């Protein structure tokens, strides 16, 4: 996650940076020029489609690019459903923080109190799971998961099967000793949320988050379903699922064939997402994710005390050392100049997305694409996002 965003910024900095402007705030935004710039980059990345939703005090710049379906021209819009992938983690974390707020558990509780059989389970706390510091093996790095999704995309994964992929491998480090972005952490947190509220996670989300905020187009689908509500975007990826799940680079021969037009991307729209669960199973729209980020960062999800804790939760990968990006209770921060954006990303076979809110400048940005990775390995929505930030901020993240 963090490495791919940094990589996008590095690539963009090679030729897209703007001159230093004022010390804070936004530049004047020309919607027509901004859209043209982003569409040119989307074309360069060979994206089937993309959606940009940008809200600033200067107004809104919302537009779709390309198509939601390579077999039928259909312009993306803000109400199109797509798989939000790891943006789900913000919702899982929010439910957990609410439960701590209600006194139903503590950030210091060990995971062994709720889920048995976890390696080092007596030493791994809820806080360490939230902040990606458990040391557990990340199950999405297991090659058997990518192979199964390629060979049997309809398979319904159980919790036992998913956790077995992680638990049969040794931990990467001792609990709390380091940071590693890890889907196993959030799968476990989803099980905790279900146990505490005594209902499926989909119902936890609906009762605590989606219903109160009016997010009628957002849901965690049943594990048995690989469908997406209409209208929806198809999701594409070149080659194996492993390229999206395990950061495996595209081989040169695949890149050459795709650029020559002799290789088309796979349509991974209907891969069953049950393996991702609380770590990445939610389906949403750009409109709903914008609502979610404004509510989450703006103080509508927690009380004042816990909102302060949540806002202060992001830590640098190496605590105490300067870092442009930090991870906290299901949220990342991107700091450049005087600006701080609270955000998350989502990446899975077929889709890549970004959702963020900058409370200091009142900027909301949601970007989704229906091609996970560009042929050079760039995470596609991240690349568009960095370009947008470079275009609208007086101090660009590319200047840091």
pLDDT value at residue 295 = 98
Q: Kindly report the CATH number assigned to the domain that includes residue 272.
A: 3.40.710.10
Cβ-based neighbours of 32, under 8 Å, separated by 6 or more: none
Q: Is the bond into 231 cis (omega within 30 degrees of 0)?
A: yes
Please report whether residue 366 resides in a domain.
Answer: yes
**4: β partners:** none
What are the structure tokens assigned to 193, written together? 């949320």
Q: Which residue has the tokens 């594409």?
A: 236
Please report whether residue 183 resides in a domain.
Answer: yes
Number of domains in the chain: 1
Greatest alpha-carbon span in the chain? 59
pLDDT value at residue 400 = 67
Please report whether residue 272 resides in a domain.
Answer: yes
Please report whether residue 202 resides in a domain.
Answer: yes
Name the 3-class secondary structure at 231: coil
pTM of structure: 0.94
pLDDT value at residue 15 = 39
- Give the pLDDT means over successive 10-residue stretches in the chain (400 positions): 48 38 74 98 97 97 98 96 98 99 98 98 98 98 96 97 98 97 98 98 98 98 97 97 87 95 96 98 98 98 98 94 95 96 98 98 98 95 98 91
Distance CA 296, CA 311 (A): 10
Please report whether residue 152 resides in a domain.
Answer: yes
CB burial of 164-173 (b: ≥16 within 10 Å; e: otherwise) equals: ebbbeeebee
Please report whether residue 390 resides in a domain.
Answer: no
Please report whether residue 231 resides in a domain.
Answer: yes
pLDDT value at residue 320 = 84
Please report whether residue 389 resides in a domain.
Answer: no
**353: β partners:** 346, 368
Q: Is residue 226 a contact partner of residue 281, using CB atoms and an 8 Å limit?
A: no
- For 323, other C-beta atoms within 10 Å of its C-beta total 17
What are the structure tokens assigned to 272, written together? 């069953």
pLDDT value at residue 37 = 98
Rounded to 10°, the helix 88-101/304-312 angle is: 130
Q: Residue 354: give the domain boundaries.
A: 45-375
Listed residue (344, 221, 200) closest to 273, CA to CA: 221
């Amino acid at each position: 996650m963090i490495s791919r965003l940094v990589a996008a910024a590095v690539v963009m900095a090679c030729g897209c940076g703007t001159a230093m402007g004022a010390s804070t705030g936004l530049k004047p935004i020309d919607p027509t020029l901004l859209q043209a710039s982003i569409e040119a980059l989307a074309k360069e990345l060979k994206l089937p489609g993309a959606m940009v939703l940008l809200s600033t005090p200067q107004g809104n710049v919302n537009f779709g690019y390309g198509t939601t379906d390579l077999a039928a021209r259909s312009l993306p819009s803000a109400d199109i459903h797509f798989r939000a992938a790891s943006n789900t983690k913000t919702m899982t974390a929010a439910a957990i923080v609410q439960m701590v707020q209600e006194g139903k558990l503590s950030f210091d509780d060990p995971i062994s109190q709720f889920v048995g059989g976890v390696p080092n389970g007596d030493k791994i706390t809820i806080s360490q799971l939230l902040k990606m510091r458990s040391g557990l093996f990340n199950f999405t790095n297991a090659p058997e998961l990518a192979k199964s999704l390629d060979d049997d995309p309809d398979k319904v994964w159980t919790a036992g099967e998913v956790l077995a992929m992680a638990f049969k491998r040794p931990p990467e480090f001792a609990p709390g000793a380091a940071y590693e972005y890890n889907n196993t952490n959030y799968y476990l947190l989803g099980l905790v949320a279900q146990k505490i509220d005594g209902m499926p996670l989909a119902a936890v989300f609906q009762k605590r988050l989606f219903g109160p905020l009016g997010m009628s187009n957002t849901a965690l689908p049943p594990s048995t379903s690989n469908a997406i509500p209409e209208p929806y975007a198809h999701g594409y990826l070149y080659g194996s699922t492993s390229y999206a799940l395990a950061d495996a680079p595209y081989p040169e021969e695949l890149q050459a064939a795709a650029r020559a037009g002799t290789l088309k991307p796979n349509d991974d729209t209907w891969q069953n997402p049950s393996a991702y669960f609380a770590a990445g199973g939610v389906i949403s729209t750009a409109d709903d994710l914008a609502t979610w980020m404004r509510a989450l960062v703006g103080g509508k999800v927690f009380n004042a005390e816990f909102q302060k804790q949540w806002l202060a939760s992001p830590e640098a990968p190496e605590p105490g050392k300067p870092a442009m990006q930090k991870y906290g209770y299901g949220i990342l921060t991107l700091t450049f100049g005087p600006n701080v954006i609270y955000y998350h990303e989502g990446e899975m076979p077929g889709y890549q997305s970004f959702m963020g809110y900058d409370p200091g400048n009142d900027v909301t940005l949601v970007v989704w694409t229906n091609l996970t990775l560009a042929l050079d390995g760039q995470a596609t929505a991240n690349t568009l996002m960095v370009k947008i930030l470079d275009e609208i901020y007086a101090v660009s993240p590319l200047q840091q």
